[in-house]
Structure 1
Amino acid sequence: MSRNRVIILNSARNLIAVIFTYSVMVSSSHAAPEVEAYIGQPLGVARVTVDVFRGEPSLPLNDERFTVAEKDGRAIYPVVKVEPARQFLRGLLGIQTPRTVTMYFLFRGDEPFDISAYSPVEQGVRIKPQRNAQGHQRLLGEWWEQLTQRWSRLQKDPEFPPIAENFLVASFARRLNRPVPKIGGGLFGLQEKDSALQEMFGGEAALLAVDREMVLGTSADSQELQELPPPPNWTAVEVDESKLDEVPLEALATHVPEECFYLRFGNFNNYFWFRDFNAKWDGDLKNMLMRRGIKGNQMSRIEQQLSLRENVLSRVLAPQFISDAALIGLDPYMRQGAAIGILVQARNNQLLSQDFMRQRRDSLQYFPDATETTVSIAGKDVSLISTPDGQLRTYYAQSGDFHLVTTSRKIVERFFEAGEGDHSLASLPSFRQARQKLLLEKEHTIFGFFSEKFFQNLLSPEYWVEARRRQQAAQQSHLVEMARYAAECEGLPAITTEELIATGILPKGFGIRADGSRIEETDDGHLDSLRGTPGFFVPVGDIDVKQASAAELEAYRKFLASFAEEVGEMPPIAFGVQRLPRTPEEDHTLHIDAIAAPLGKVRLGRLIDSLGEPIDEQMKPISGNVVSLEAVLDLPVPLIGGGSQPHLLFGGLRDFRSPLVVKQGKVSPGVARSELVRGYVGAWPRPGLLEMLQGPEHANGPEPQALGDQMWQAQSDNFLLISFKPDVIREVEPQLGFEPAERPAQVRVRADDLTGKQISETVSALAYSRTRETSVSPSRMMNSLANLLHVPREDCLKFAERLVDGKFACALGGEYQLYETEGSLPVWSSTALPVSNRFMLTEVPEGFKVAFLEWFRGMQGDLRVADGELSAHVELMMAPDALP
């Protein structure tokens, strides 16, 4: 960087500092609060600006302690004004705490009143509302802008589930006749599209969208029903079946419907291992990297429905009378109640049948209202034990040596049909091709297969429409609860859904679904008239859907168009997991192979499309590397003529200790970028993408040469090497070379065991910041519910857990408690957070170690995309504690 440029930047920084400091002095020169308030419809609106209490070293405005309250509850729906430009300037100048804070809120009534403005210490403020229609509209617009900005920020970067914010935005968009803003993404405010895969699998973003539609009233539809359209005309999966005649298959696959997902364990010991592994990480493999804040209870509900209770004796005896086992299902909708089952092959039919019947009899004793009936399915007698609310729904079917326990009548029907040769998984060419590539003889601990028929079934009009109706039915009771709190906030006497609709809190037609089903409130909770208890719904495949409303069909068409643009078509996907036989005291290795083939019309994204041809060589291991990565690329290089330059791009991270500091609640580097990372990037046999870094300064020879002010480069034998450190180049350059690879691939990665490495401290410090945010997320949601909807603070934990359908689990291992704070409102927080870190990260505790460092002992993997197939191989070394 030139000297003149440095002078200009420093002068600009100083000028900004002067301007900002002056503006802060002016804005904070008035000791008295600034108040503006107007009476109007549907509610009055006010703005108050008060000094920030500066008794703490740093105060973020987003810790939910900044709010307003009034003794009779007249001040409602408060929102803090956030000014990104001023936040940016404060960060630039190192100012951690603003001097003043502005808060907007709505209010009931016309008379003057007193509020408590918490910033975060209580300050009394007198509100004298005026009558001014124009002022009311202007200030109401400012409140709406701040509310929607908060909602939008939480949608893009979910610091906590913005369920209350989502409800208020949808409700007031309808009541004020304002559009719901688009969620901007990126520096230039580019629009962020809803994910079709999120909608397909019912993710959190999709459920928030369902909530908005219901509260806006766009999902209510009483139009005349229409016949469902035919399923999409999917491209046939092309497989050369002439090469598949001799592929060995397990007998179990001959009884699995082709549209079911298939997780095969080979034996019941592997099934128990899978169960234990799943339980160890709370049913979410993301916990292996970093603990999450919510424990789902979906698996326990499925086990309850299936009435399969494990005991010590079953672990001993089951392998003796079960030779093979698999988990199968028609969908992944565990949250509302999935179509899922356990399929086993018996060594001894009589013993296995007796064990299943014993467990089923135990369920009849456990559930007093449970009944057992014999139903006829596909001409066969099947045992069904169920309760009226669906909390127990277990079918038991047998066909020869094959036994099925499932929640779904549809799966039973297809189980019998598949066993007679009607569209079984074993007869599906894509399955046999997967078995050819992931050989049966490997005896995988887990073999998984998701056929193209599985995905096509999820995308069929019948399945999509019913899945959407189930989501609406499951969310309806939550929305009614929030609407009751909103009505109480506004002083409206409304409890029932009809009363809430009459007040305008909920829209006309709320809760009306095209199939005529209704949510009913009972002494034991909510009950859907068609599907049962939320969380235990009748499976999607068991509901006969023949017709849909015009609105549903239009939504389905839009979804298909979005799916075609974003995903294209889903290919068959197979994977296999092998455990290497080791003693319990030694490290373990998992070999994981995954294949998606044939790819057909699937859209893989720009990154995969940029890969070149696979090569059967790999870089030699570089001594001293902690992480190594290499990728074969073939793409136009910007800014240098646009021509394609096939090349190998590689890089490595060396062990280092990075000086880190806590700044404005974030862990940040405490040194210049050139001192932060000890590593390198390189290219062979031509610069490729790295030519954008080189410019005209091409390297000549293996000795490091300066590249700009902070980087160094060298070139030898067509290897270009760039690093912040010349000594790194001197260490790495002599080691560069190739060796034969076990498999052709375009992408390869290696990672060393980080135990005892300096970098592990840096990783843990950065991870603590993220883990702390995860720990804080539930408490922020609880405090937000209290502030926005006046949920009694002591009730916020249970209410928030109902909304997220799970139990909050502090990622740092603490418990959530309601803390009394002097001069301020009680707030929820975790016992794992020291006082100094409770509301803003100020320091990283000594000795913190992120979850994956406890078990990770190294990995290597590769990726290949060629010949219409994507395949990956990963070898993951793990400490014994990671596995059951």
Structure 2
Amino acid sequence: MKGLYPSLFAITALVAAVMRPSVADAQTNPLSVQAIAGQPYGVAQVVIPAGQVSETASVRLIVTNEESRVFFPAIDIVTTEPPPAPTPPPRIASERPRLGALVQRIRNAVNLAKEQIDPPEVVRVQFLFTGESPFTIQIAGDLNTTVDVRPIAPGQTAPEENGRAPLTLELLRQSWWDGYVAQAKTQIERSDYPSIVENYLIHMLGRRFGYPIPNLSRKPFKPDEPQQDPMPTIALVAGVESLRSELHRETLNQSSGLEQPMRPIPAPPRWTEIASPAVPDDLAVEPIAYRIPPECFYIRFGSFANFIWFKQFGESRGGDLAQLAVLRGLNYQTNDRMERMLNAKTTMVGKLFGDSIISDMAIIGQDLYLQEGPTMGILFEAKNMALLRSSMEGDRKTALQQYRSRGIKLEDVELEGKKISLLSTPDNQVRSFMVERDNYLLLTTSQSIAKRFLEVADGGPSLAHSDAFRFARFTMPLSNEYSVFAYLSSEFFRNLVSPQYQIELRRRLKAIASIEIAEMASRVANAEANALGSEKGGSIDSLMRRGYLPDTFQSRIDGSQTLSFNGQWHDSLRGARGSFLPIADVPLLECSQEEFDDYQEQSHFYATRWQQTDPLMFGIRRFVDQDVPSVENLVVEGYIAPLGRDKYGWISRLLGEPVQTEIELPRDDMIHVQVHLSGETPLGRPSPNHVLFAGVKDLDPPIPGETKGLLATLRVLKSIPGYLGTWPSPGYLDRLPFGLGGGGPDAYGFSRSLFGLWRWQGGGFSIVSFDRSILEHCLNWIRPVPAADFAQGRVFIGDLKNSRVSSFFNILSFRRAAQTSRGNLMLLDAMQEQLHIPTEEALQAAEQLLDARLQCPLGGTYEPVKSASQERSNYWISTAWEASVEKPRIDSGRSDPDYIGFDPEHAIPAPTYRVPWLDWFRGAHAHLTQLPERLVLISRISMERLPATPANSASSEESEKLPAMNLDLFNLPFQFFKGDKPNGKPTNKGAPEAIPPVKAERKDF
């Protein structure tokens, strides 16, 4: 018997490996095929074995038919019922089992246990089809197979299978609809792109077949609830996805709002003014600020070289500043849009000689809606106006030739009694006003901004005349020589929540939704026309008549229409998508009762709860790193000043008083943070003010895992090499649930909780970690020490590039990027499956529909390929997947060929993958200070310097002359005035009056 056990283990492993049919076997053997013909569509259901699919995995399958008879496929994963456990036959007591019988019994037991515990899944493919003759479908993606479908005649019943009741056409169609809705919800949850395809098809098909319309949004926007916070307005201002989805659904519903009475435009909120502190009369203010209207945001570069650096900085870090840290699946190419609309593309000649022509420049505007069509402009202060004007006029003449086919024209228009130049196309793809006054030249998309610029030049109030801006320039003086200085005035924020902006912004988002819906409706109509012999595409009226659009689609409050022009859909009032007429230029004369009531509610909230808007300013300065010449330090200063603290509610009350004390933490921490918290918080019972601090060591972190559920979360926390502490009172650590804070300490100050969490208490400190050695190491370092500045929050992040902890961020970033990349691929699948767009045209069609470029966050490109059984391309891939993604893994960490799909919560990147920001980020240090009159954020970000710009250019010379940083960085808020500087003594009675810098002593263990 000694040699029997290795054999039994080998046999058992073999049995376990072959107990399920492999994916390769499943490719050609569907478990069932049921299809019933009908008019105009029949319904089919194909069930294919899939091996094992993780609960968090997505399975990508593309269903096609060479005759284009398959429509609206729905794919879902179904777990099979485990087989009933058989009753073993009785065995005679005297009978001794033979070796072969014993092996067979073990094999049967293993098979039964596997099937009971982890039953295999099946893929259920359901779709509509045309005609009654047999046909073949091709399935590509995570499974590759072909399936023959033989429909039965209408009115017949599909045969009984596996004891199930026979299926009728109605039952099959209901099953398909349920699967179609479930597929749409899953796709929306796991993708990065707007859910416009899913929303349109669900509404159109639901109306056609008489099914109720489900809510597909991730987080439903609730416009009917009373406004209790500024989030609904922020959602409208930012154009967040939940609001866009809500307006999409409103456009698809059978309601126009035209039956409502019309009302005059409501009044804006009554704002409370905040007096700005007095500043010296001789305060230095840049001349260009005297040409800026007060309601415009103001981003000043000081020189053309600084503008070129800022532009290259964004382009080199993911395409633009919006993708600095996280590369999204969609790139709206906002820089290119702005350059096209203004006809102001930066040329090589401009880079070489810009500073010899331009002495100062700024970007100004009334909004930042770069995605739809902004109210913005660029203001130049000229050293040589003749050369600058000549260069601009030459560019405008070149554009006349470039955009001739779009109907571009260059004309002089009269504004405020003066002639100005307007270069424009009928669809607003180009819309550039050029206004010259004295030694200033303005390029703007907005007639309103051009008019306000002339009014200010004629002596009207300017940004530089406002007390708040002068206070900003006192706080952030010209002598600091910021590479970028930005100021967003109170008037700017008030204008964003004015009735003109709020009402028109909602209307323009609906106009965008209408363009997207019209595009999809015409695509579906064309696809069905080829299969059903019906009318193709056509006008909006034709699409409404045939049910592809709701009857009220063209009924709008402002009278605008969705029209086709040059093969693309446009809004009759606003122009082409992506270059809409600026909001400030859209006339708003009246509104509906619903619009009136909605705005009145917003206005009441801001007048009673928000009361005033606070100016926001920030500046960026660049310094060379004296220790590492290839690294530059960006000093970023951000201020909200003057500050109306009360309206920020519990957020402002969360922080304690600014203190000139910090906790010295271990120098080998890769990341640490400390915050001085108020004891009067909404998070629990009051406690004395205290410092909450935490740190992460540079140790090999765990592979990020599942965090759903308490035990899973505890496993993740237990594996993180870090600590959490408070001083000078336990504070929140005493409130940890389930006794995680531990019991009373032993003689050395240690205690341990039920879940293995260690805690050390002594010297006023309380620190917890799942690793006792980390606590012991902390005791050699932690102590309160005097700080050079007052602050409530302090953050340190080291250079993560070659650190061991970087793998943790690498995996988290990879999983999000991979899921986004796969979501884009599924969007391309939907373009060809649901809208019947040829595979080779799917990418272009998707980008036209979304008005954005699809990009792979993994760094690859999307390419069409064909499966092994096909002669032409039938699905898309990203070139990055083979290089960036390891084979799928199950919880045990081993690769398993029977597991299909992609599981973003357990996927592991290939060793060659690296999150892009790790290549340039070299650390950061930030302090947050809330003062009576200001909220201040000062930070230093270290990063690899940009590659050298062309030789002889002004920006190249500038980059080689960066100064060394020899300033007291975090004491900047207190260098110029003492008015709201803390006195160094905390006012909360629960905090100690003096903070002894006593080092916590480590005992021998």
- Class of the TM-score when normalised by the shorter of the 2 chains: 0.7 to 0.9
Q: Counterpart in 2 of 1:299?
A: 335
Q: Which amino acid aligns with 1:426?
A: A
Alignment of 1:368-379 (within 5 A): 368=404, 369-379=407-417
Task: Please state how far the C-alpha of 1:238 moved relative to its aligned partner.
Answer: 0.7
Alignment of 1:325-336 (within 5 A): 325-336=361-372
Task: Please state how far the C-alpha of 1:40 moved relative to its aligned partner.
Answer: 7.9
Q: What is the alpha-carbon distance in structure 2 between the residues aligned to residue 883 and residue 596 of structure 1?
A: 35
User: What is the DSSP-based 3-state SS (H/G/I as helix, E as strand, rest coil) of the residue aligned with 2:454?
Assistant: helix
Query: Of 252, 255, 271, which residue of structure 2 is paired with 1:215?
Result: 252
Residue 151 (structure 2) pairs with residue 151 (structure 1):
no
Preserved CA contact (<8 Å) 1:855 1:881: no
Query: Of 551, 575, 579, which residue of structure 1 is paired with 2:618?
Result: 575
Mind listing any 5+ residue stretches in structure 1 that lack a counterpart? Answer: 1-20, 23-27
Q: Counterpart in 2 of 1:3?
A: none
Q: Which amino acid aligns with 1:499?
A: S
Deviates more, 1:159-168 or 1:486-495: 486-495
Q: What is the alpha-carbon distance in structure 1 between the residues aligned to residue 46 and residue 461 of structure 2?
A: 68
Query: Of 411, 414, 426, which residue of structure 1 is paired with 2:452?
Result: 414
Q: Counterpart in 1 of 2:978?
A: none
Q: Counterpart in 1 of 2:804?
A: 758
Query: Of 320, 338, 345, which residue of structure 2 is paired with 1:284?
Result: 320
Preserved CA contact (<8 Å) 2:36 2:156: yes
Mind listing any 5+ residue stretches in structure 2 that lack a counterpart? Answer: 1-18, 21-25, 83-113, 158-165, 888-900, 950-1005
Alignment of 1:239-318 (within 5 A): 239-243=275-279, 245=281, 247-318=283-354
Q: Which amino acid aligns with 1:49?
A: V
Q: Which amino acid aligns with 2:930?
A: V
Q: What is the alpha-carbon distance in structure 2 between the residues aligned to residue 278 and residue 377 of structure 1?
A: 35
Taking structure 2 as the reference length, what is the TM-score of the superposition?
0.75
User: What is the DSSP-based 3-state SS (H/G/I as helix, E as strand, rest coil) of the residue aligned with 1:341?
Assistant: strand
Q: What is the alpha-carbon distance in structure 2 between the residues aligned to residue 461 and residue 827 of structure 1?
A: 47
User: Taking structure 1 as reference, are residues 231 and 471 closer, same or farther at Cα in structure 2, changes over 3 Å only?
Assistant: same
Q: Counterpart in 2 of 1:430?
A: 468
Residue 877 (structure 2) pairs with residue 829 (structure 1):
yes
User: What is the DSSP-based 3-state SS (H/G/I as helix, E as strand, rest coil) of the residue aligned with 2:834?
Assistant: helix
Query: Of 497, 508, 520, which residue of structure 1 is paired with 2:551?
Result: 508
User: What is the DSSP-based 3-state SS (H/G/I as helix, E as strand, rest coil) of the residue aligned with 2:306?
Assistant: helix
Q: Deviations over 1:396-439 (max 9, x none)?
A: 21222222111211101101122344342223333233222222
Preserved CA contact (<8 Å) 1:576 1:592: yes
Q: What is the alpha-carbon distance in structure 2 between the residues aligned to residue 726 and residue 625 of structure 1?
A: 16
Alignment of 1:339-738 (within 5 A): 339-368=375-404, 369-488=407-526, 490=528, 491=532, 492-496=534-538, 497-523=540-566, 525-553=568-596, 556=599, 571-581=614-624, 585-600=629-644, 604=648, 609-635=653-679, 642-660=685-703, 673=716, 676-693=719-736, 694-695=740-741, 697-700=743-746, 703-738=749-784
Preserved CA contact (<8 Å) 1:116 1:124: no
Preserved CA contact (<8 Å) 1:340 1:407: yes
Q: Counterpart in 2 of 1:180?
A: 214
Q: What is the alpha-carbon distance in structure 1 between the residues aligned to residue 136 and residue 392 of structure 2?
A: 66
Query: Of 928, 940, 948, which residue of structure 2 is paired with 1:875?
Result: 940
Q: Counterpart in 1 of 2:90?
A: none
Q: Counterpart in 1 of 2:204?
A: 171
Structure exhibiting the larger radius of gyration computed from Cα positions:
2
Deviates more, 1:371-380 or 1:779-788: 371-380
Deviates more, 1:97-106 or 1:162-171: 97-106
Task: Please state how far the C-alpha of 1:184 moved relative to its aligned partner.
Answer: 6.5
Preserved CA contact (<8 Å) 1:338 1:407: yes
Q: What is the alpha-carbon distance in structure 1 between the residues aligned to residue 171 and residue 607 of structure 2?
A: 42
Q: Which amino acid aligns with 2:691?
A: L
Preserved CA contact (<8 Å) 1:519 1:528: yes
User: What is the DSSP-based 3-state SS (H/G/I as helix, E as strand, rest coil) of the residue aligned with 2:779?
Assistant: helix
Task: Please state how far the C-alpha of 1:663 moved relative to its aligned partner.
Answer: 9.7
Deviates more, 1:413-422 or 1:729-738: 413-422
Q: Which amino acid aligns with 2:250?
A: E
Deviates more, 1:611-620 or 1:839-848: 839-848
Q: Deviations over 1:819-839 (max 9, x none)?
A: 222358832111121187585
Q: What is the alpha-carbon distance in structure 2 between the residues aligned to residue 661 and residue 622 of structure 1?
A: 25
User: Taking structure 1 as reference, are residues 656 and 602 closer, same or farther at Cα in structure 2, changes over 3 Å only?
Assistant: same
Q: Which amino acid aligns with 2:615?
A: P
Q: Counterpart in 2 of 1:121?
A: 145
Q: Which amino acid aligns with 1:588?
A: E
Q: What is the alpha-carbon distance in structure 1 between the residues aligned to residue 168 and residue 596 of structure 2?
A: 43
Preserved CA contact (<8 Å) 2:193 2:329: no
User: Taking structure 1 as reference, are residues 330 and 42 closer, same or farther at Cα in structure 2, changes over 3 Å only?
Assistant: farther
Task: Please state how far the C-alpha of 1:145 moved relative to its aligned partner.
Answer: 4.1
Q: What is the alpha-carbon distance in structure 2 between the residues aligned to residue 523 and residue 782 of structure 1?
A: 24
Q: Counterpart in 2 of 1:4?
A: none
Alignment of 1:3-14 (within 5 A): none
Q: Counterpart in 1 of 2:75?
A: 80
Query: Of 849, 859, 868, which residue of structure 1 is paired with 2:924?
Result: 859
Preserved CA contact (<8 Å) 1:660 1:670: no
Task: Please state how far the C-alpha of 1:114 moved relative to its aligned partner.
Answer: 6.4
Task: Please state how far the C-alpha of 1:447 moved relative to its aligned partner.
Answer: 0.8
Preserved CA contact (<8 Å) 2:30 2:147: no
Q: Counterpart in 2 of 1:99?
A: 121
Preserved CA contact (<8 Å) 1:47 1:104: yes
Q: What is the alpha-carbon distance in structure 2 between the residues aligned to residue 670 and residue 472 of structure 1?
A: 41
Alignment of 1:753-792 (within 5 A): 753-792=799-838
Q: What is the alpha-carbon distance in structure 1 between the residues aligned to residue 236 and residue 847 of structure 2?
A: 22
Preserved CA contact (<8 Å) 2:861 2:878: yes
Q: Deviations over 1:717-764 (max 9, x none)?
A: 111111111111111112111233343222211011123321123332
Deviates more, 1:123-132 or 1:246-255: 123-132
- Percent of aligned positions that are identical: 28
Q: Counterpart in 2 of 1:200?
A: 237
Task: Please state how far the C-alpha of 1:257 moved relative to its aligned partner.
Answer: 1.1
Q: Counterpart in 1 of 2:274?
A: 238
User: What is the DSSP-based 3-state SS (H/G/I as helix, E as strand, rest coil) of the residue aligned with 1:580?
Assistant: strand
User: What is the DSSP-based 3-state SS (H/G/I as helix, E as strand, rest coil) of the residue aligned with 2:881?
Assistant: coil
User: What is the DSSP-based 3-state SS (H/G/I as helix, E as strand, rest coil) of the residue aligned with 1:735?
Assistant: coil
User: Taking structure 1 as reference, are residues 674 and 380 closer, same or farther at Cα in structure 2, changes over 3 Å only?
Assistant: closer
User: Taking structure 1 as reference, are residues 432 and 698 closer, same or farther at Cα in structure 2, changes over 3 Å only?
Assistant: farther
User: What is the DSSP-based 3-state SS (H/G/I as helix, E as strand, rest coil) of the residue aligned with 1:867?
Assistant: coil
Q: CA RMSD in A?
A: 4.1
Deviates more, 1:833-842 or 1:485-494: 833-842
Task: Please state how far the C-alpha of 1:505 moved relative to its aligned partner.
Answer: 1.6
Q: What is the alpha-carbon distance in structure 2 between the residues aligned to residue 763 and residue 160 of structure 1?
A: 23
Preserved CA contact (<8 Å) 1:256 1:418: yes
Query: Of 749, 760, 772, which residue of structure 1 is paired with 2:795?
Result: 749
Query: Of 902, 926, 945, which residue of structure 2 is paired with 1:840?
Result: 902
User: What is the DSSP-based 3-state SS (H/G/I as helix, E as strand, rest coil) of the residue aligned with 1:538?
Assistant: coil
Task: Please state how far the C-alpha of 1:36 moved relative to its aligned partner.
Answer: 6.3
Q: Which amino acid aligns with 2:202?
A: V
Preserved CA contact (<8 Å) 1:519 1:526: yes
Task: Please state how far the C-alpha of 1:195 moved relative to its aligned partner.
Answer: 5.3
Task: Please state how far the C-alpha of 1:565 moved relative to its aligned partner.
Answer: 11
Task: Please state how far the C-alpha of 1:548 moved relative to its aligned partner.
Answer: 2.7
How many residues align? The count is 843
Taking structure 1 as the reference length, what is the TM-score of the superposition?
0.85
Deviates more, 1:259-268 or 1:414-423: 414-423
Q: Deviations over 1:685-725 (max 9, x none)?
A: 11111113455603356554333342211112111111111
Q: What is the alpha-carbon distance in structure 2 between the residues aligned to residue 149 and residue 555 of structure 1?
A: 33
Q: Deviations over 1:367-397 (max 9, x none)?
A: 4454332222122222222333333322221
Task: Please state how far the C-alpha of 1:77 moved relative to its aligned partner.
Answer: 1.8
